[in-house]
Structure 1
Amino acid sequence: MSITRLDLTGLKCPLPALKTRKALQSLRPGERLEVCCTDPLAAIDIPNLIRETGDRVEIVDRSDRAILFLIEKSAAPLE
């Protein structure tokens, strides 16, 4: 199983969501994207993005220093 890692620490809204969207476009169905962010707004923006794209957030781990998302690319994009 393929996992692509995306380190977005230090980036502020809207960059984490924009870079996550771009990274998801290059993945094949079933592949996963691990996204690490430090912007608190990413906890809202990235789940909203995933609802739009139809992909799935598997794990959200939030610590004092970062927010970690594990996103699985869905089989069919939503139009």
Structure 2
Amino acid sequence: MGVRAAGVRRSDAVKVGDRVLVRFGVRDIEATVVEVKRDRVMVRLQFEGADESIVTGYRAAEVRPVHDSRGNCASEA
């Protein structure tokens, strides 16, 4: 089941495994959704050259789906 913020189309609801854009510091980066609970989305951030990833939470309204070339929400395979 995905989660939706006000003004977000149902097709943009995110679910576990989806690739999303989140604000981290002063830039937007891609992350992978690892958990969705009500209005909170937990994502895994992986930085190039880092040995460990970071898991952190965002409000659903702060998370934007990454779309593939056909406009579908991208998921990790």
> Please, what TM-score do these two structures have when normalized by structure 1?
0.26
More helix by share: 1
Q: Select the structure with the greater relative contact order (CA < 8 A; seq sep ≥ 6).
A: 1
